[in-house]
Amino acid sequence: MISTINPATGEELRVFEAHTDAQVDAALTAATEAQKAWRLVPVEERVQVLRNTAKVLRDGKDEYARLITLEMGKPITEAEAEIEKCAMTAEYYAETASGHLAPETIVSSAEDSGVVFEPLGVVLAIMPWNYPFWQFFRFVLPAVAAGNGAILKHANNVPQAALAVQDVMNKAGLPEGLFSTVLIESRRVAALIADDRIAAVTLTGSTQVGQIVASQAGAALKKQVLELGGSDPFIVLADADIKAAAQVAVKARFTNAGQSCVNAKRFIVDERVADKFVAEFLANTKSLVVGDPIDPATTIGPMARENLRAELHEQVARTIEAGGKVLLGGNFVDRPGYYYEPTIIDHVVPGQAAFDEETFGPVAAIVRVSSTEEAIALANRTEYGLGAALWTADTQTAARDLLPKIDAGAVFINGMVASDPRLPFGGIKKSGYGRELGSYGVREFTNMKTFWTGPAPTPAAVD
């Protein structure tokens, strides 16, 4: 049985029967057969489905956003923005996929040579609960534009969202069977990965789950894209605009109740401006409104699951025990549901949980440093490498000298790390590998096939 619980109340919303082996097998067979025909459809025709997808999403925005909020607790305004971002991405790929996938001519020893981009087949998408529409659509839109089919195994606490995204694609006119959602327990994923009808795997999730999926897909010699955990640094140098940095820092940390791999988690601040930054950050954080996520006035909703809240609180307790100083929050909110207070811990150092581990919730760690060199060193002192923010007035020096020293898949100078359909997104180290979005993302699940054409043979003389 797969159940969905409203994290704002703790009440069970619905219960679903897991799909049987026969149902999963039928979905795989249908996707395989549909993809054989879909791959031959010109990309200019495939992208019409993406245009339709944008319209379906916008027409149903209120319904889909409410579903996200009820199922995983995201404030309704953030859920509405998530739907709009999916629609915008559909339009982006509708306009650009043909160019991204166009054959490339390469000068070689041949009269004509280069690369064509052909789909791999049916891709298994293992998706998380924190952005139940966005994480899926940022994968599936470029994947189907490239000619692939897809099977979705979504997080089991968002089954209604998992079925809703299939409904969106059906309404958009995707060929029948090309994409299916399967409601299955996590223990059954290994069999899907091993199935010969699955050509590749994409996962957004924890580093621990990524290691498992990578080993299973690697054993089957299947292409993978892994977008995993993060402990993103938010670096504030002494010459930064402190007021602006502190204002953006609140959104960077507390969006989605801090439940995002690219939320800023470690705020590494030059000690010369640390007191000022902390005062501004603290004041801005106090303005957040904890409440019912359906209420548009709410800016912090509950965490998605009780076990996630318990794990976060245990990390906070260990950090305090090791010397961290709580400036705000640090405990459960006294109300039904899985709420946690927006929390700021100052004087965090390596060796404490809030520095060493990914804190997946509304907890900000302030790390004070004495120099730019120490700031960069501590930013890199993590097993993760997803994103990083760097705040400084000297943007030329930052781009020229500091950017190459930061270990991350993306560095945002004077801004917060966020995904953008026009830019590649992904990490290094234990944050995963491969890229989503942009031109690189649409090519991840393609065979980059080389072609080489020599001169035509001279016809043999005819007597």
Phi, psi of 281 (to 5 degrees): -60, -45
CA distance 102 to 43: 9
Q: Is 378 helix (H, G, I), strand (E, B) or coil?
A: helix
Residue 272: exposed, middle, or buried by beta-carbon count in 10 A (0-12, 13-18, 19+)? middle
CA angle 113/114/117 to nearest 5° reads 140
**Superfamily per CATH, domain 232-413:** Aldehyde Dehydrogenase; Chain A, domain 2 (3.40.309.10)
Q: What is the DSSP letter of 237?
A: -
Helices (H), 234-295: 242-254, 271-286
**pLDDT for res 461:** 52
- Based on C-alpha coordinates, what's the Rg of the chain? 24
Strand order in the sheet with 149-153: 179-181, 149-153, 122-126, 198-204, 223-227, 432-433
CA distance 347 to 14: 44
What lies within 8 Å, CB to CB, of 278 at 6+ separation is 269, 327, 344, 346, 366
Give the DSSP H/E element, type plus range, for residue 5. Answer: strand 2-6
Give the DSSP H/E element, type plus range, for residue 124. Answer: strand 122-126
Cβ(137)–Cβ(164) under 8 Å? no
Phi, psi of 376 (to 5 degrees): -65, -40
Residue 239: exposed, middle, or buried by beta-carbon count in 10 A (0-12, 13-18, 19+)? middle
Q: Among 167, 166, 161, 205, which Cα is nearest to 186's? A: 205
CA distance 251 to 274: 19
Please give the chain's pLDDT, 463 residues, in tens: 899 999 999 999 999 999 999 999 999 999 999 999 999 999 999 999 999 999 999 999 999 999 999 999 999 999 999 999 999 999 999 999 999 999 999 999 988 999 999 999 999 999 999 999 999 999 999 999 999 999 999 999 999 999 999 999 999 999 999 999 999 999 999 999 999 999 999 999 999 999 999 999 999 999 999 999 999 999 999 999 999 999 999 999 999 999 999 999 999 999 999 999 999 999 999 999 999 999 999 999 999 999 999 999 999 999 999 999 999 999 999 999 999 999 999 999 999 999 999 999 999 999 999 999 999 999 999 999 999 999 999 999 998 999 999 999 999 999 999 999 999 999 999 999 999 999 999 999 999 999 999 988 877 655 5
The domain locations on the chain are 2-228+431-451, 232-413
CA distance 129 to 257: 13
Where do the DSSP E strands lie in 129-249?
A: 149-153, 179-181, 198-204, 223-227, 232-236
Which tokens in the block code for residue 410? 């993306």
Which tokens in the block code for residue 192? 């899907």
pTM of the model: 0.96
**pLDDT for res 459:** 74
Task: For the domain made up of 2-228+431-451, give the CATH fold.
Answer: Aldehyde Dehydrogenase; Chain A, domain 1 (3.40.605)
Residue type, 38: W
Catalytic residues, by residue number, are: 227, 261
Q: Is 11 helix (H, G, I), strand (E, B) or coil?
A: strand
